[in-house]
C-alpha cells in the first residue's frame, strides 16, 4: 500500500467549471496536438456539445496522430454504429475497460470500474476531473436538463503529466494483454503485459512552455486495486486532520466510511467550520437514499449540510483553509463513497496554492448560498417514515454489496 506522493513545485494549473468550458479547452488542445493523445472516461456520449470532442479526436487521428481512447464497460457499453465506423476509418484506437459480458454486474468482481476522467496530449498537457464526455444539459436517464450539471476539472502542465501518462499507458497495455489472451494470441499478450510494466517514453516540454502563473505545488492521486488502494482517502484524512479554519467538500455521491466521518466530526468539534455540498436531486435510488442515514451524526456535530438543487451535482472537489498559509484543494473523479474508495479506478489532482484554492472556494460558496437548500437538523429528524424506510433499505443494500465484494468500509 502506497502513501500519498509528495506534492511537487512548478505546475501550471487552471480550474475549469462545466462540460462546455471543458470541451472547448480539450478541443483547442487537440487541434494543436502534434503526436499523441491518451484519453480515459467513464461515459463517452455523443449528444450535443460532447460531439465536439469526438469530432476533434477524429480530426487528430486523420492528421496522423496516435489516438488512444479507453471507456468503461458500464458507463459506455458500446459506440453508436455511425461513430464506430467514423473512428475506425480515422484510425482512433478505442478500447472498453472490463466489458460486462453475459452475467453483467451479477459477478462482484465486475463492480471494479474505470471511473477516472483523464486526458494527456503530447506528454505535455493534461486534464483531470469529474467531467465525463457528456453534454452538461443532457442526462442519459433523465433527458434534457433545465440547468447544466455542476462539475469541475483542471488543465495542468508540469511533473504530474508524466505520472498521468504512465498510468494511462500501463492500463492500455494491460487491456491489450487481456484482449490477446482471450484471442489466444499468447506472444502478443506477453509483449503487452511486459510493456505495461515499463516507463514508456514521453515528450518533455521545455521551460518556455510553462508560461503564466506557476502553482506552488501539485500532485496526482490515484486509486486502484493493486498499489494505490487508499491513496485518495488518506489524502482527505490528512487534509481534514490538519484543517484549522474551514473545510468545504462538494461531492455527488457521499457515503463516507467510519474514518472519514470521524475525521469530519473531530474537525467540527475543534472549531473548524465544515460545510458539505451534496446531491439534492434524485438521480439513483442507492446513491440518493443511502447517504441520508449518516446525516444525523454529522448535523449533531455542527457540520453544515447543503443539498444542491439547481441541477444535478456531479462535482468531486474539496477546499481546506483557502485563506491560510497552507491551503489544500482537490479536483478529481473520486466520490466519497465505497464504490469510489474501494472498487473503482479514480484520479484526483491535489493543489497547494492560495489563488487556486480561493477560486474554487468562491465557486462552492456561491453554489451553497444561491443554488442549494440547507439540511436542518429539526427537519431531518422529522422526515416521513416512508422516506426513512427507503433510506435504511438503500443503506442496507449498500452494506450488503460491500459484504459480497469482500470489502469492509
Domains and CATH numbers, the chain: 19-148+159-204 (3.30.870.10), 218-405 (3.30.870.10)
Whether residue 21 is predicted with pLDDT greater than 80 in this model: the reply is: yes
Q: Is 70 exceeded by the pLDDT of residue 90?
A: yes
Cα dihedral 294, 295, 301, 306 sign: positive
pLDDT band for position 229 (cuts 50, 70, 90): confident
pLDDT score for 110 = 82
Cβ neighbours, 10 Å, residue 52: 18
Q: Which of 191-195, 250-254, 284-288, 328-332 has the lowest mean pLDDT?
A: 191-195
167 has a pLDDT exceeding 60: yes
Give residue 128's pLDDT.
98
pLDDT band at 314 (very low <50, low <70, confident <90, very high): very high
59: number of Cβ within 10 Å: 16
More confident residue, 287 or 316: 316
Mean pLDDT for the stretch of residues 158-168: 95
CA 155, CA 127: separation in Å to the nearest integer? 5
> What's the rounded Cα separation, in Å, for the pair 383 and 113?
34
Higher local confidence (pLDDT), 110 or 206: 110
Q: Is the pLDDT confidence value at 76 over 90?
A: yes
* Residue 179 pLDDT exceeds 70: no
What is the C-alpha to C-alpha distance for residues 148 and 170, in angstroms, rounded to an integer? 34
Task: Tell me if 112 sits within 8 A of 401, measured CB to CB.
Answer: no
pLDDT at 40 over 80: yes
69 near 44, Cβ under 8 Å?
yes
Question: What cell was used for 75?
Answer: 458507463
Round to whole Å and give the CA distance between 402 and 391. 17
Query: What's the length of the chain?
Result: 409
- Which residues make Cβ contacts (< 8 Å) with residue 8, sequence separation at least 6? 158, 159, 160, 217, 218, 219
Angle at 285 between CA 137 and CA 406, to 5 degrees: 115
DSSP state at residue 381: H
Cβ burial, residue 63 (10 Å; 0-12/13-18/19+): middle
Residue 183: band (very low, low, confident or very high) from pLDDT cuts 50, 70, 90: low
100 pLDDT band, cuts 50/70/90, is: confident
Q: What proportion of the chain, given as a percentage, has pLDDT over 90?
A: 73
Q: Average pLDDT for residues 232-260, to the nearest whole number?
A: 97
Q: Taking the CA atoms of the chain, what radius of gyration do you get in angstroms?
A: 21
Residue with the bigger pLDDT between 181 and 114: it is: 114
pLDDT score of 199: 46
The mean predicted confidence, pLDDT, of the chain is: 89
Q: How many CB atoms lie within 10 A of CB 318?
A: 28
CA angle centred on 251, ends 247 and 257, rounded to 5°: 80
Quickly state the pLDDT bin for 3 (edges 50, 70, 90): low
Mean pLDDT, to the nearest integer, of 225-244?
Answer: 93
- Between CA 234 and CA 33 the distance in angstroms is 35
pLDDT of residue 401: 81
With bands split at pLDDT 50, 70 and 90, how would you rate the model's confidence at 102?
confident
Side-chain half-sphere CA neighbours of 186 within 13 A: 0
pLDDT at 204: 45
- pLDDT tens digit string along 187-223? 544 454 454 454 444 444 443 344 445 566 999 999 9
| Active centre residues (catalytic) | 115, 117, 122, 314, 316, 321
Which residue is it, cell 479507453? 70
Residue 127 · residue 119 · CB < 8 Å: yes
| 131-149: average pLDDT | 95
Helix (H) or strand (E) holding 279: strand 273-279
More confidently predicted of 30 and 109: 30
Closest CA to 99 of 73, 69, 71: 73
| Residue 206: predicted pLDDT | 41
Q: In the predicted model, what is the mean pLDDT of residues 103-130?
A: 91
Mean pLDDT throughout 237-249?
A: 98
Return d(Cα 231, Cα 342) in angstroms, integer.
11
Q: What is the pLDDT of residue 88?
A: 97
pLDDT at 101: 79
Average pLDDT rounded to a whole number, residues 59-71: 97
pLDDT on residue 164: 96
Given a cut of 70, is residue 4 above it in pLDDT?
Answer: no
- How high is the pLDDT of residue 366? 98
| 291: nearest Cα among 367, 369, 375, 368 | 375
Amino acid at each position: 500500500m502506497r502513501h500519498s506522493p509528495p506534492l511537487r513545485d512548478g505546475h501550471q494549473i487552471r480550474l475549469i467549471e462545466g462540460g462546455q468550458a471543458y470541451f472547448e479547452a480539450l478541443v483547442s488542445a487537440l487541434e494543436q496536438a502534434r503526436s499523441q493523445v491518451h484519453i480515459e472516461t467513464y461515459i463517452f456520449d455523443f449528444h450535443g456539445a460532447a460531439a465536439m470532442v469526438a469530432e476533434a479526436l477524429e480530426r487528430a487521428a486523420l492528421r496522423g496522430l496516435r489516438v488512444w481512447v479507453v471507456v468503461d464497460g458500464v458507463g459506455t457499453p458500446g459506440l453508436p454504429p455511425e461513430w464506430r465506423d467514423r473512428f475506425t476509418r480515422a484510425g482512433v484506437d478505442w478500447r472498453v475497460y472490463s466489458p460486462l459480458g453475459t452475467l453483467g454486474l451479477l459477478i462482484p468482481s465486475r463492480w471494479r470500474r474505470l471511473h477516472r476522467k483523464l486526458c494527456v496530449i503530447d506528454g505535455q498537457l493534461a486534464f483531470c476531473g469529474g467531467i465525463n464526455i457528456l453534454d452538461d444539459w443532457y442526462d442519459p436517464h433523465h433527458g434534457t436538463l433545465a440547468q447544466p450539471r455542476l462539475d469541475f476539472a483542471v488543465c495542468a502542465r508540469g511533473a504530474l503529466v508524466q505520472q498521468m501518462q504512465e498510468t494511462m499507458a500501463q492500463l492500455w497495455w494491460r487491456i491489450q494483454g487481456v484482449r490477446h489472451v482471450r484471442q489466444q494470441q499468447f506472444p502478443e499478450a506477453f509483449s503487452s503485459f511486459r510493456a505495461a510494466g515499463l516507463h514508456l517514453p514521453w515528450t518533455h516540454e521545455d521551460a518556455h512552455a510553462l508560461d503564466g502563473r506557476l502553482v506552488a505545488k501539485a500532485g496526482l492521486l490515484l486509486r486502484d486495486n493493486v498499489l494505490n488502494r487508499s491513496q485518495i482517502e488518506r489524502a482527505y484524512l490528512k487534509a481534514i486532520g490538519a484543517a484549522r479554519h474551514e473545510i468545504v467538500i462538494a461531492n455527488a455521491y457521499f457515503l463516507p466510511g467510519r474514518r472519514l466521518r470521524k475525521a469530519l466530526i473531530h474537525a467540527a468539534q475543534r472549531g473548524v467550520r465544515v460545510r458539505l455540498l451534496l446531491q439534492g436531486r434524485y438521480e439513483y435510488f442507492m446513491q440518493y437514499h443511502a447517504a441520508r442515514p449518516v446525516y444525523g451524526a454529522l448535523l449533531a456535530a455542527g457540520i453544515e449540510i447543503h443539498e444542491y438543487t439547481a441541477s444535478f451535482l456531479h462535482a468531486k472537489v474539496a477546499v481546506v483553509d483557502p485563506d491560510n498559509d497552507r491551503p489544500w484543494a482537490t479536483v478529481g473523479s473520486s466520490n466519497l463513497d465505497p464504490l469510489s474508495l474501494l472498487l473503482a479506478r479514480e484520479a484526483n489532482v491535489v493543489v497547494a496554492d492560495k489563488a487556486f484554492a480561493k477560486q474554487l472556494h468562491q465557486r462552492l460558496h456561491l453554489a451553497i448560498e444561491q443554488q442549494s437548500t440547507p439540511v436542518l437538523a429539526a427537519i431531518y429528524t422529522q422526515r416521513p417514515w416512508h422516506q426513512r424506510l427507503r433510506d435504511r433499505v438503500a443503506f442496507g443494500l449498500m452494506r450488503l454489496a460491500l459484504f459480497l465484494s469482500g470489502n469492509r468500509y
